[in-house]
Structure 1
């Protein structure tokens, strides 16, 4: 008996349920009752989908969370066992809210991908069903697998069908999915294009929630393109809209957009030299995501906010703390992308203390996933050979240029570091500038140019907050002390 809900519910233990089903089969009434139960679950699933767009998350979960196992049972009977594939497809089409609310993306893939590829079902699926299932599969693959070719193809199919059927909701979802795919694979211009398309459509149909989300992803795109001030402006616009308008439908695009916005804003702030505020916002996003009890949102806040800002701040202890939490959550919910991303941070923290550790398996997993090597500068820190590849302009280009000097002769290192410093100033990336100038000043001290070294450090420090806990600031101050100031 479940009484902690608005309506008291009675649930059978699985053994008792199986016993009852066997008795019904013996009496010859099971097929009829199973069909009636499938009809009931179909109505419930469709109503839950409608209510997902209008009810607050907490209320929706209280009302429909208890039917998830019933829906699973009916899918097993109608689809897997083949009792009524058409009915099973109708139910599956309406189950997207359950996959998103409970981050059940691995389960979603297990049901949907076979349907999209099985020849026997090609004539059964309507265009609307194929569109909805492709969008659900794309969303699931985004978080469960990462930026694989399969992820791109399912989102592209969903977008093509949405344009053909004039379905604005799926178009918005597909723009979001393709934005994230191209962001992770390093095709930043295409990523920006899809973010802009989402904003344009949201404005055209006066969808305020989608517009706030569009501004959020537009800000992330500009940040990744090295336009940090512009990216920050869009992210703050987005967060202001969420704060004013609010939304009960917070997981519409797969995770809570406000916490995701704060996580990425924390990265931008660090790059701009606002270390203390960056850390505060990153952990504020983690705490909010934890209160929401939404796994994918919490994974995003931990990875893109807490882990990243701690790694940028050269704090392996905090990286390890956040990464272990991230990996535990991802493993429990079969979210392979977040698990592998968490392992990147964890292995970086280990290698930070023990530089001789090799990460062959991790790099193989990341390559198999399709993640761009410039998505995170930590990859080049862990394998300096990566920084020798051709760079495309992105958020960490100055740092990658700094890392590449290890393979240059001493005479060429100064020129490369000066180019990296100019790039950092061009991006207004004072966090990178401070790290670069520490490397450059060390080189200048060795060749006797102490005055120039001190001037460079002093200039960058004028753009940085006064957080004395930052490793880079401590390094800069130690260099100044060596130089007599």
Structure 2
């Protein structure tokens, strides 16, 4: 049938809206992956007909060559999401040797206006796509959905495999759109260290923690937010999770928590909801087919059996066998899935016989919680024993993974003693078929993962074998390969796609580093992994955590018999970048870049020298050492980079930076425009480039400095347009430190200078948010200082800027912040770009006393400021100095002299006449004109 965009396709409990690519189950959105939706729409369009596998792959992946396994796993995911096989209902069948066919009755309807316009809006959460239908829990889910707004803190408690995660995710899914600030899932299964719980939550919230009291920081961040936190798998971290929940409930009154654990958290305010097994028929009941399938345990077993075995159909004669199996497994969902996966191999009678033999003396009548734990353990043992030797080895070794992994990663870890590469794919396929391994189907890739219960079981088996050290080593080697790929891809693919591809590796990277940097024995692999993984830590804004690993790696490297200079250089560069953003221009930051440069020279590594010099240059600029930075920029010419267009362009941009802050605005402007033209000509205007010590996007950085130059040269409107362009690029590529950089150095300042107070405040809030989120403490501190002027914050609430660039920026915002140290810098020429403003600020302070002697000193300072501003090509500062001097002469009755001084400066402005500085000059000129005879 032809699917028109305005129509809906109805089958079973579902309505599919092709034009909106939306699937609804009753009144709730059914979240399907993009590929799964493509497959469903194709099959619906050919309902009742067979669509070949080749046709499906050609239509779903028109621009890619994919293996048939991709189609099979996406098809399996689609069937599970639809509950194909539930209550005997079939939607999609496999036609042997031919393809697939949609076989359920379906009808076309006009979509009408009944669907709420926000029904397909699924943003504001990080919940995974649903992989299976919910069976036997809907009443509980509905009750929890109703309770959470009132209860605030609910813990789902039950033994492993009982379905706590499934229920929690379904509750959260039904609450999408009910929390203003969204829903966040925190899965604690991958971590073992209680100290990492807060950091793990901060990562999920896209927040970086700066201080020693992370719980307070989290509560502060969440204080005004209306949000649901789903904290999954808490049982091994109960004490720390309980403390965190209590802190959040006290400090963030609109935050609600739904947790899962094998036991209660025993926390203040916790409401415990125990999950029982799925319903089984009572022992004495005599049931027909329809009555039996009314029990949720049987529903689940039959659906999973049908999903794993296309030809399985439950007959009346087989009904007693299925009832006995479900009772024997105590209605535990995971145990039922494991058993159902064996129906194709053993048949129902064979399956029951196997279970009877394996369970032995275990009783399944009136099971206690302990009994259910034992039932699941015995089911896992039984399932494991049914595997062949190769499959057992594969499962054991896969237990080393903390997160999702590809088939390629699985093979890298599995292949070794007793396992050949050719055996891996078949074993993985069998583990999936037997429900011991789950599949996460992404749009572009297929990932596998172990459920927490199964992973713990597999890891226990691995620890009992003699394979653990070798498996850990292969796991770390695989992490290294992935991080090398990530590093190569970093400059060549969009940031969002890069993060989606590599962020899944974070938990395994942590595990490999935790083991490799602390375990006795050789540490070379872990040290290399630390040095190579820099991009991932930076992109995920985990600079503080990464700094800890870098310091450990450096300590181990220094203690090595033959330390590798190149590795040490890379680690020192990583330490310098981490320290710069987390601490600013401290002695440790400087030492890291200086050491890195010496090592790069020793290794004859030009790119390393470039990174070290550029990192140190950035530190010098932030500390106000402009002349040193200018001299460092001249060192680039001696590195012989002219043959490398990208590096040459980057060093040219850094030259602009140093010229600007050293005060040579005319040369800085010429060079800045050349850089922008070269970027545009080479197609690099929006290119993400990371080859420098403190990692900003090149185009964002170039536009940011050009905006500053333009404003100081007297082009406030052009400056704002350029600053806005820089911010737009930074937001487009979603690079946190680049967003902070452009807001701190141009966006917030130029909006305020131009009198756009509302925009300045909005940008300041964005800067505070992004700097905290991305662990850029340097610019977070700057933003707190800006708030004193831009947002009217209490000056006592923030300390005065200590020294360096930020102190000079603040004087341009509030001349009352001038002091003797700044004056000395201005008089010696060290203040560079801000010299005229510092002299003007001191003159204004003297003029406030209205003392003849001080007025004379002030006049001298203002004349000096005026001349410096002219020499630097800084028309904005020239106007400010001329205005202050004209006001002094006005007070002295020197009206004509004041007008003749100020009017020519004002007339050189061709734009920005509504900005505060120019409006003030207009008024002053009008006053002066009234005192000067025509």
TM-score under structure 2 length normalisation: 0.48
Distance 1:35 1:227, change over 3 A: same
Aligned residue number for residue 118 of structure 2: none
- Tell me if the contact between 1:106 and 1:335 (Cα under 8 Å) persists in the aligned partners: no
Aligned residue number for residue 15 of structure 2: none
Separation of aligned partners in 2, 1:395 and 1:210: 26
Separation of aligned partners in 1, 2:610 and 2:588: 19
Q: 1:464 is paired with a residue of what secondary structure?
A: coil
Aligned residue number for residue 883 of structure 2: 438
Q: 2:789 is paired with a residue of what secondary structure?
A: helix
The 5 Å alignment of 1:104-253 reads 104-117=542-555, 121-123=559-561, 125-201=563-639, 203-204=641-642, 206-247=643-684, 248-253=687-692
- Tell me if the contact between 1:324 and 1:346 (Cα under 8 Å) persists in the aligned partners: no
Once the two structures are superposed, residues 240-260 of structure 1 have per-residue CA deviations (whole angstroms, 9 ceiling, x without a partner) of 121111345523321101111
- Report whether the alignment pairs 1:389 with 2:824: yes
Separation of aligned partners in 1, 2:740 and 2:556: 33
The 5 Å alignment of 1:18-417 reads 18=456, 20-26=458-464, 29-52=467-490, 55=493, 57=495, 60-82=498-520, 85-117=523-555, 121-123=559-561, 125-201=563-639, 203-204=641-642, 206-247=643-684, 248-253=687-692, 254-350=695-791, 353=792, 357-359=794-796, 361-363=798-800, 366=802, 373-374=807-808, 377-378=811-812, 381-386=815-820, 387-391=822-826, 392-408=830-846, 409-417=854-862
Distance 1:322 1:425, change over 3 A: same
Separation of aligned partners in 1, 2:870 and 2:471: 71
Distance 1:16 1:339, change over 3 A: farther
Q: 2:908 is paired with a residue of what secondary structure?
A: coil
The 5 Å alignment of 1:441-452 reads 441-452=886-897
Structure 1 alignment gaps of length 5 or more = none
- Tell me if the contact between 2:557 and 2:568 (Cα under 8 Å) persists in the aligned partners: no
Match of 2:908 among 432, 439, 463: 463
Separation of aligned partners in 2, 1:187 and 1:231: 17
Q: 1:483 is paired with a residue of what secondary structure?
A: helix
Separation of aligned partners in 2, 1:62 and 1:271: 41
Q: 2:595 is paired with a residue of what secondary structure?
A: helix
- Tell me if the contact between 1:380 and 1:400 (Cα under 8 Å) persists in the aligned partners: no
**Post-superposition shift, 1:97?**
2.2
Distance 1:217 1:425, change over 3 A: same
- Tell me if the contact between 1:147 and 1:185 (Cα under 8 Å) persists in the aligned partners: yes
Structure holding more strand per residue: 2
Aligned residue number for residue 480 of structure 1: 925
Separation of aligned partners in 2, 1:15 and 1:264: 54
Separation of aligned partners in 1, 2:479 and 2:585: 34
- Tell me if the contact between 2:751 and 2:759 (Cα under 8 Å) persists in the aligned partners: yes
Separation of aligned partners in 1, 2:675 and 2:787: 31
TM-score under structure 1 length normalisation: 0.90
**Post-superposition shift, 1:474?**
0.7
RMSD between aligned alpha carbons? 2.6
Residues 370-379 or 436-445, more deviating: 370-379
Distance 1:401 1:16, change over 3 A: farther
Separation of aligned partners in 1, 2:451 and 2:895: 77
Distance 1:321 1:432, change over 3 A: same
Distance 1:437 1:14, change over 3 A: farther
Distance 1:120 1:410, change over 3 A: closer
Q: Between Structure 1 and Structure 2, whose CA radius of gyration is higher?
A: 2
Aligned residue number for residue 182 of structure 2: none
Corresponding residue pairs, total? 477
